[in-house]
Amino acid sequence: MVGAAVAVIGRGAEVPVAGVSHSLAAGLPERDPLGPPPRSGLAIPRPRLLTSGAAEITLWAPVRRAVAVHEAPSARADVTAHVPASTPERTTNIVVIAGSTRGERELWVPIRTRAATGWVPRDALGGYEAVETRLLVDTAAFTATLLRANRVVFRARIGVGTAAAPTPTGSFYVRNRLTRYRSAFYGPVSFGTSARSGLTDWPAGGFVGIHGTSRPEILPGRVSHGCIRMRNADILALARLMPVGTPVEIT
């Protein structure tokens, strides 16, 4: 069969079909009765690797169930902390991922706790989400600076904790975002963080927030119980730029 077809094509015969001249020498019509194919309706951009111009990325994950944090990736390792599944405001608690997963039969994930890096089973966490923002809080200069993809996108003057209730320094992250509550004291938007002030007997554990204020006239300065306060216009601007999961570096 194949041999016969080649023989026909080799003779260069032409067979007209429905007005289209077919050259059997080429095996294809000389003219396309439908014209050229349509151009793609989508402009597909050139694929970009993550490593090309990549910003510093932080991964976070929701906590699916209250879980013990272990010193090493093993259930037999010492427990260094406990992570609840919800925050004092009853939002889903989240943790920041601190490195690569380990384990064969059971996967363990390193997370950042206040004291150090600890390990939790992978199944205690939900899906990962990435952020490319970082908030830098300078308690000496009274400034908060938000970076996105390593570029400054926001800066504001702030109030921080008094000498008796200083804002804790270290590496923390934004855990939740609160809006439309009644208290004017916190301004129109608040962010809960994983940072804890020295006020350990404070109701709900003494967590530090980033929020607006009903007293803008006293900013900037050492005015709070550990929270980071800013003017309401500033916290509203920050709320448009800073997602939950953003790392907060306080110096």
Partner 1 sequence: MHLDLDQLDRDAALRETAAGVPRETRKDFLLGTLAGGGAALAALVLAEPGKAASRTDVEILNYALTLEYLQAAFYTEAERRNALRTKLARQTTRVLGAVERAHVRALRDALGSAAVKRPFFDFGGVTEDEDAFIRTAVAFEDLGTAAYKGQAYRIDSPALLAAAISIHSVEARHAAWIRYLAGAPPASSALDEPKSMGEVRELVASTGFIVERPRTGSRAEPRFTG
**Sites of contact with partner 1 (CB under 8 A):** 37-51, 57, 59, 62, 88-92, 94, 100-101, 107, 122-123, 126-130, 161, 165, 175-183, 185-186, 190, 192, 197, 199, 202-204, 206-209, 211, 224-227, 244
Q: Considering only CA atoms, which of 153, 156, 162, 133 is closest in space to residue 143? A: 156
Nearer to partner 1, 137 or 227 (CB): 227
Nearer to partner 1, 19 or 47 (CB): 47
Please check whether residue 211 is in contact with residue 187, taking contact to mean a CB–CB distance below 8 angstroms: yes
| Shortest distance (Å) from residue 235 CB to partner 1 | 12
| Shortest distance (Å) from residue 204 CB to partner 1 | 4
User: Is residue 185 helix, strand or coil?
Assistant: helix
- In angstroms, the CA 82 to CA 94 distance is 13
Nearer to partner 1, 64 or 157 (CB): 64
Structure tokens at 93: 């608690």
User: Is residue 186 helix, strand or coil?
Assistant: helix
| Shortest distance (Å) from residue 229 CB to partner 1 | 8
Query: Is 227 tagged catalytic?
Result: yes
- In angstroms, the CA 183 to CA 250 distance is 26
Query: Which positions ≥6 away from 175 have C-beta within 8 Å?
Result: 87, 91, 93, 94, 191, 192, 193, 194, 244
Query: Is 82 tagged catalytic?
Result: no
Nearer to partner 1, 72 or 223 (CB): 223
| Shortest distance (Å) from residue 142 CB to partner 1 | 17
* Catalytic residue (one of 22, 70, 82, 211): 211
Active site residues: 211, 227
